[in-house]
Structure formats: C-alpha cells, structure tokens
Amino acid sequence: MRNTRVKLASGLAGIASLCAVLGAAAPAAADEPGPGVTFWSGAFTGETVTYPASVTGCTVLPFTVHSEYNNTDKTLRVYQTTDCSGWFYYFPTNDIHNFLGFDARSFQLVD
C-alpha cells in the first residue's frame, strides 16, 4: 500500500511540474491592437501599423495591406491608389476583416 502511495505522489508531482512548465510557456495575454485602426500586410500576419482614430484626410500606407481592424467610431475606406481615389472597400466601426484579393495602399476615416 505504501508503494502505491509513493508512485501516486510521484505521478502527481510530475503532472504538476508539466503543468507549470506548459503554463509558463504560454503568453500572459495576446497582443491586441489598441484604439485606432490597425493594418496588416497579410491575413492578420506580416507587417503591421496602427493609426490613431484622430487621423484626418487621405493617409498613404507604408506597405500594401490586406487586413484591417477598425477600432474607431468612424467608417474606414481603403483604396488601391495612394491618393484615396477610385474603387474602395469600406468597413464599419469595430470591424475586423481581411481582403486578400484587394491591395490597399491608402485609407480615410469618415463620419
């Protein structure tokens, strides 16, 4: 009986150690974009840039983007041109989207 208790205690200690190691390997919190509008070059991967909600007018993006998180109270328009002209996609407030078939090069936040 004593031998069974020792084996059980050893097994539980091993499981506890494994849980501690795995728990330490996991990040404490996911990296979440803050307020404003965040863009990614891929489908929420690759290069990223965030602009404050207070940005006005046409803004040229530093790279071609394919994903957005509009964490503002404004509508987001993304354009294939660098001067916010021509066709655009629009995304409402608090929207997260990818658009892999559309190369966005500039954006505007509009009321």
CATH for 104: 2.60.20.10
Tokens representing 91?
């995304």
- pTM for the predicted model, two decimal places: 0.71
Beta partners for residue 38, in sequence order: 50, 69
User: Does 11 reside within a domain?
Assistant: no
Q: Is the pLDDT of residue 23 over 80?
A: no
The residue segments making up the domain with residue 99 are: 36-110
User: Does 49 reside within a domain?
Assistant: yes
pLDDT in tens, 36-90: 999 999 999 999 999 999 999 999 999 999 999 999 999 999 999 999 999 999 9
**HSE, side-chain direction, 13 A CA sphere, residue 8:** 5
User: Does 4 reside within a domain?
Assistant: no
Label residue 25 by pLDDT band (50, 70, 90). Answer: very low
Contact 56, 32 (CB under 8 A): no
